[in-house]
Structure 1
Amino acid sequence: MLTGLAWLALETKSLEQARSFYADLLELSCRERGERELVFAAGETDLVVRRPDSVPRGGVHTHYAFSIPATEYDDWWDQLSTAGYDLEDAQFGELTSLYLYDPDGNCVELGQSDVAGPGIDGIFEVVLEVEDLERSQAFYAALGFETVDMGADRKRVRMSLNGSTALELWEPHLGIADARGGVHVDLGFETSEPTGALEAVSDHVQQVDHVADERVVVRDPDGHVITFTV
């Protein structure tokens, strides 16, 4: 039903500080500049940073992961540590990720992935804070996400869309690098049938904000803004 992640939107207090972090430090190209928001290209996915002066606001203290070519990992570690960032790392099988924080307290992961690059080439994971794991798991399963892992030492569920985009659903806790799941996160998903996606979750949405043939906007059970768009 859903085919991929179109965008992740974050809240920022300062567009200039966000631009410096994402464009200058992480070398993302800025596709759009407005009075309220900036849109960066992370591979085929947009990263939006937005001032909190209307809704949807964008997520706060959101943990998410960028894809980087595996061969670039050491270069990124050296570049970011030289810039003065206190980095943490974690091993996942044969792949390694590093973690740092952006100016607004979002935990940004750069993970070795099978991507072409150069540089950041996609967003492969977003972590949402939820109140009830079973309720949220059922909501995203109805949209085509498959459960691939359930945490034993902390309350979390990992779900995957087409083997490429992952959502981690966390009941409140601190993860690696003291990361937290995001609240009021704004996510956009591509689909050929936006109204069909709405029908799949119509009994479980918190509210419906907009309905049209090419774009449907809903709130999931925890108030995250979810857009289905062609």
Structure 2
Amino acid sequence: MLSGLDWLALEAKDLESAREFYAERLGLAIREQRPDELVFAAGETDLVCRRPDALPRGGLHTHYAFSIPDGEYDDWWARLAAAYDLEEAQFGSARSLYLYDPDGNCVELGQRDVTGPGIDGIFEVVLEVERLERAREFYEDLGFEAVDAGDDRKRVRLRGPMALELWEPHLGIADARGGVHVDLGFETAAPEAALDSVADRVRSLERASDDAVVVRDPDGHFLTFTSA
């Protein structure tokens, strides 16, 4: 039902600090610049850093993951280790490094089968939820598929346009936390059909038109369904 991740929005108190981190440290091009937000190109997905001046706000302490080509991993580690206290995790044959941006978001750079060069997409976003089963059912009805659950029953991983992790409050790798009031944009061939699948459980319907539907999920995250 949802065919792509259009954007992930994060809250930034200081846009200049966000620009320095994402553009200069991580090499993301700036797609758009406005007084209250910066839009970076993370492959085909927009990473939006937004001042908390209005709704929707961007996400707070959001853990998410950038895709990098397999062969670039060691170069990224060497480049970032000089300035950041990095952590590493291995998932099968793939490695990921973790660091924090200026606003406390846990940023993962993970080896993926992407072209590059540099960061080429967002492959995972983590949302904090109050009740795991309720959130899982909500996102499954939007077309996500559960593929893994934590032994502690505090998280579940779903497969869709990207990997979506739903976490009840806890600390993950690198002391990461799931994001609160995260703003996500999804591409879909039928925004109204996406709404119909979850209309009885959204916290609110913010806007509905022929080309875009905006809702808040049961945990207050903003979801926009846009025409692909």
Q: TM-score range by the shorter chain?
A: over 0.9
Aligned to 1:38: 38
Aligned to 1:219: 216
Q: Does structure 2 retain, via aligned residues, the 8 Å contact 1:154–1:173?
A: no
Aligned to 2:201: 204
Q: Which residue identity is paired with 1:160?
A: R
Measured after TM superposition, the shift of residue 153 of structure 1 is 3.2
Q: Which residue identity is paired with 2:198?
A: V
Structure 1: 4+ residue segments shifted above 6 A: none
Aligned to 2:142: 143
Does 1:169 find its partner at 2:163? Answer: no
- Once residues 210 and 199 of structure 2 are traced to their aligned partners in structure 1, the CA distance between those partners, rounded to angstroms, is 16
1:20-31 counterparts in 2 under 5 A? 20-31=20-31
Aligned to 1:128: 127
Q: Secondary structure at the residue paired with 2:185?
A: strand
1:91-130 counterparts in 2 under 5 A? 91-130=90-129
Aligned to 1:153: 152
Q: How many residues align?
A: 227
TM-score after normalising by structure 2? 0.99
Does 1:64 find its partner at 2:55? Answer: no
Does 1:47 find its partner at 2:44? Answer: no
TM-score after normalising by structure 1? 0.98
Unmatched segments (≥5 aa) in structure 2: none
Q: Which residue identity is paired with 1:137?
A: R
Q: What CA RMSD, in Å, does the superposition of the two structures yield over aligned residues?
A: 0.6
Measured after TM superposition, the shift of residue 104 of structure 1 is 0.1
Aligned CA distance change for structure 1 residues 226 and 59 (closer, same or farther; 3 Å):
same
Q: Secondary structure at the residue paired with 1:90?
A: strand
- Once residues 204 and 55 of structure 2 are traced to their aligned partners in structure 1, the CA distance between those partners, rounded to angstroms, is 14
Measured after TM superposition, the shift of residue 148 of structure 1 is 0.5
Measured after TM superposition, the shift of residue 154 of structure 1 is 5.3
- Once residues 84 and 149 of structure 2 are traced to their aligned partners in structure 1, the CA distance between those partners, rounded to angstroms, is 31
Q: Secondary structure at the residue paired with 2:192?
A: helix
**Can you list the C-alpha shifts for 1:12-58, whole angstroms capped at 9, x where unaligned?**
00000000000000000000000000000000000000000101001
